[in-house]
A and B are shown apart, each in its own frame.
Chain A
Amino acid sequence: MTSALRNIIYNCKQATFLIEKRIAGKITAAETLQLHVHLKGCSVCKIYQRQSILINKVFSDFENSDVKLDETFKKILKDKIEKEINKN
């Protein structure tokens, strides 16, 4: 077993770092193997990985939620635009 592999088997800090790097970018083949071995034996990091993906999804889903400006603010905006146009 290489020392890199041995080091990661118990290293959750490194494993969660690789999880983030894999989700948002890419990791090397060696890192993929290290992570695979770690996750085989670490149920806590498996929970972490699931939740990390869930957080990304909840975060980006927000865009599709139907947020609206309140009418009072819209009215203020409209008035400001009209005032600005009439300046010219």
Chain B
Amino acid sequence: MLNKTDQEFGEKCLHSDPISWVEKYADYLYGFAISRIRDEEVAKDLVQDTFLAALQRLDGFEGNSQEKTWLTAILKNKIADFYRKRSSSSVKDLREMDVEGELKDFFDAESGHWTEKDYPRAFGLEMYNPLMMKELGFVLNKCLAKLPGLWFSVFSMKHMDDLASEQICNELKLTNANFWVIMHRTKLNLRACLQKNWN
């Protein structure tokens, strides 16, 4: 009886070798998660959840797809769940959703012209400079962390995974009009945050 169990377990593992997962895939999966979440702790949790969920589903892994592809697909689902959860907990009323609780308008209510204090000014990055781009990336991550959850989800789904707006609206239960208002306000806030914290 013991032998049979051993044998079954052996067969089950033919397609996949969980002992080597961390070695082979942990860095890759972490990079995938953190680029979409921008939060180290959450990204770590999702990588761990992915491995544990994969262990539960070892039986279902036929070896048809690459192990890496299979694990990434599980992680993608976990990220989608995370986006949905963060988005549903944000208030969907756009008037109440601005960064740091204050409603920044950036524009004159009547003319729609930039208010003078909000004028975009050059970042001084006209020449391509990899080091400065990296630095800008750090500042951007700090600015992203201040965004309301729903905004971040929308922005990341659009720009990391290049999803169609219809699909994002479906997943996050948004109207098309709201989607574009969020895209616009997200960028206005990120840009202003960069301008404030850059230099």
Q: List residues 17-33 of chain B with CB under 8 A from any CB of chain A.
A: 18-19, 21-22, 26-27, 30-32
Whether B113 sits at the interface, judged by CB under 8 Å, is yes
Whether B61 sits at the interface, judged by CB under 8 Å, is no
Task: Assess A82 versus B26: contact at CB under 8 Å? Given A44-B119, A47-B122, A77-B51.
Answer: no
A12→B183 contact, CB < 8 A: no
Instruction: Quote the shortest CB–CB distance from B21 to chain A (angstroms).
Output: 6
Whether A29 sits at the interface, judged by CB under 8 Å, is no
Interface of chain A, helix or strand or loop or mixed? helix
Q: How many residues of B contact A (CB 8 A)?
A: 51
Complex Cα spacing A52 to B165, Å: 18
Q: Within 8 Å CB of A13, what residues of B? A: 106-107, 112-113
Whether B194 sits at the interface, judged by CB under 8 Å, is yes
Whether A55 sits at the interface, judged by CB under 8 Å, is yes
Whether B63 sits at the interface, judged by CB under 8 Å, is no
Q: Within 8 Å CB of B55, what residues of A? A: 81, 84-85
Whether A4 sits at the interface, judged by CB under 8 Å, is no
Q: Within 8 Å CB of B51, what residues of A? A: 77, 80-81
30 residue pairs from A and B, CB less than 8 Å apart: A11-B111, A12-B112, A13-B112, A16-B188, A20-B180, A25-B165, A25-B180, A47-B120, A48-B120, A48-B191, A51-B123, A54-B123, A56-B159, A58-B136, A59-B144, A59-B155, A60-B160, A62-B137, A67-B31, A68-B31, A69-B47, A74-B26, A77-B22, A77-B48, A78-B19, A81-B18, A81-B19, A81-B51, A81-B52, A82-B19
**A-B interface, 7 closest residue pairs, ranked by CB to CB distance from nearest:** A11-B112, A13-B112, A13-B107, A63-B35, A47-B120, A48-B120, A78-B22
Give me the interface of A with B, judged by CB distance under 8 Å. 10-14, 16-17, 20-21, 24-25, 44-45, 47-48, 51-52, 54-56, 58-63, 65-69, 73-74, 77-78, 80-82, 84-85, 88
